[in-house]
Amino acid sequence: MTHMNKTKLYEATFERLTALKSYKLISVKKRKLRVTERGFNFLKHDNKWYYLGKILLTDKYRRTQHPDVFLACYGEFVTLPYESRASIKKFILSGSGDEDGDLSEEDFTTYREFITNVARRCGKADSIVERVCNPALGNTIVGTIAPMDLPVEELSQIIAEFDALEEFFLTSDPIKADLDVNSEGVKTLVIENMLELHLEDVIRRNFHQLFPDLEIVDKNQHYRTRDGTYIDIFCKHKQDDKYTVIELKRDKSPSSALIQLLDYMNQIMKEFNTDKVTGILVCKEMDRRTRSALCAIQSNMPKGSSISAIEFNLKMEYSCM
């Protein structure tokens, strides 16, 4: 095998492993590859395109700030003929809004009509629709499959399920959320009639009830720090104006989420020139090691700063995956 062929093989292998890891089908521990539970489920699933599509779209759906635009985008995309979908794909891959390059006038026109139709579906401006649709349909990591490359039948099925979830969320009984404290002093956020996917929305809706001493200052959108990272909920104390960072973690391990929260708190300390910052981690479950680490961190926080964790418990769980 020539040096060039070896290089291409290594690059291709690296891309595939990166893709598998990003899908959370494999994990790397002590330089060893391990198939995750999701990976085994994928291997056993009868319809692998559907399973992979569910992974891709669920991840993107959780991240989008405009779920209505996201669903309208796919709702329109799956109704289009193959030629139109191909034109839209070419436009997105070109990374340009111009008609030059490999884009034909027909490609450009098809894409613009697509954006206009999506805007009509969701009632949002074309500029917002375009910002949501391009990353929603495209891939985010080299070597991974873009959702727009998935078979239309599987895409349609997944989007129908997402639509059903949104319908349930919007028409269900009023959401109830309360903070309980168990005998060990552990705070638990108990939520009824909620989809895990909508955790942030539920907390924001019930914020004054859950955190009466705090007020949100991020104008209901993720606060962007100077380092370019985004904080889930940024708020401050009503009495002393002490800033508080709230991080919501559904899919990350509690330990990595704790590290991320500390990083965000440190960024806020530097950005606002203060050593008084509070951090609150909201996660589904904490293991023993994370609890131990949290206790150690709490005892070494600067005066005026603190960090705590709240575990959330869904009375009814109806998630996408």
| Residues 279 and 247 sit within 8 Å (Cβ to Cβ) | yes
Give the tens place of pLDDT for each residue, 66-84: 888 999 999 999 999 999 9
Per-residue pLDDT reduced to its tens digit, 147-159: 999 999 999 998 8
What confidence score (pLDDT) does residue 182 get? 59
Instruction: For the chain, give every domain's residue range.
Output: 1-44, 46-169, 176-314
- In terms of pTM, does the model score above 0.85? no
Q: What is the pLDDT of residues 181-196, one digit of tens each?
A: 655 566 666 654 444 4
CATH number assigned to the domain covering 176-314? 3.40.1350.10
* pLDDT tens profile 8-34: 766 767 667 777 777 778 887 777 888
Sole residue written with tokens 């509070």: 278
Q: Name the pairing type of β-strands 32-35 and 26-29.
A: antiparallel
CB atoms within 10 A of CB 129: 24
Here the tokens at position 78 are 């799956």
Q: Which range scores top for mean pLDDT: 19-28, 164-173, 287-296?
A: 287-296
pLDDT computed for residue 315 by the predictor: 47
Which is higher by pLDDT, 54 or 98? 54
Q: Which residues, 6+ apart, have CB-to-CB distance to 237 below 8 Å?
A: 213, 214, 244, 278
Residue 255 vs residues 28, 53, 218: alpha-carbon distances, Å: 17, 28, 26
Spatial distance between the Cα atoms of 200 and 119, rounded to a whole number of angstroms: 25
Ranking 56-70, 193-207, 276-290 by mean pLDDT, the lowest is 193-207
Q: Model confidence at 251, in pLDDT bands (50, 70, 90)? A: low
Res 42 pLDDT > 90: no
pLDDT of 163 over the 60 cut = yes
Mean pLDDT of the chain, nearest integer? 81
Is 259's pLDDT higher than 80? yes
CB 43 within 8 A of CB 23: no
Task: Tell me, letter by letter, the H, E, C secondary structure of the chain.
Answer: CCHHHHHHHHHHHHHHHHHHHHCCCEEEECCEEEECHHHHHHHHCCCHHHHHHHHHHHHHHHHCCCHHHHHHHHHHHCCCCHHHHHHHHHHHHHCCCCCCCCCCHHHHHHHHHHHHHHHHHHCCCHHHHHHHHHHHHCCCCCCCCCHHHCCHHHHHHHHHHHHHHHHHHHHCCCCEEEEEECCCCCEEEEEECCCHHHHHHHHHHCHHHHCCCEEECCCCCCEECCCCCEECEEEEECCCCCEEEEEEECCCCHHHHHHHHHHHHHHHHHHCCCCCEEEEEEECCCCHHHHHHHHHHHCCCCCCCEEEEEEEEECCCCCCC
